[in-house]
Amino acid sequence: MRRSVKKVGDYIFWNYNKSKPASSTYCSQSLTLLLKNAGIQQPYNGPSIRHASTTKLRASGASIMEINALSRHILTSNVVDDLYYRPNTT
């Protein structure tokens, strides 16, 4: 039998240095540093990774509502398909 998990807050990332939920600035700076340390250079950045992963999810059959839930968009939003979904047309 599956038990429910108690929700401890409305955040998905934690700043362990400050013992509080991570801000969007902290997440952005952490991702930029991670990409730099991995040797990944422009034009690849946070938004390009988001676009690529969203496109891959859609191409693999994920619904707009599933991706909206994962990306924390409003469930009925078309932003994912309008801005992120880049199907290979060649």
The reply to whether 11 falls in a domain is no
**The model's pTM:** 0.57
* Virtual torsion, Cα 23, 62, 56, 80, nearest 10 deg: -50
The token duo for 66 is 């599933």
89 domain-assigned = yes
* Residue 1 placed within a domain: no
Show the beta-strand stretches assigned E in the chain: 14-15, 20-21
pLDDT tens digit sequence for 27-65: 888 988 999 999 998 888 888 888 888 888 888 999 888
Query: Containing domain of residue 70, as a range?
Result: 42-90
Q: What angle do CA 20, 25, 28 make, to 5 degrees?
A: 110
In our burial notation (b when 16+ CB lie closer than 10 A, e otherwise), range 55-81 reads bebbeeebebeebbeeeebeeeeeebe
Residue 8 lies inside a defined structural domain of this protein:
no
Report how many domains make up the chain.
1
Tell me, yes or no, whether 6 lies in a domain: no
15 or 8, which is more confident? 15
> Is residue 79 a part of any domain in this protein?
yes
28 in a domain, yes or no? no
Residues 6+ apart with CB under 8 A from 54: 67, 71, 80, 84, 85
Tell me how many degrees the CA angle 68-46-71 measures, rounded to the nearest 5: 10
User: What does the pLDDT look like over 10-35, one tens digit per residue?
Assistant: 667 788 888 888 888 888 889 889 99
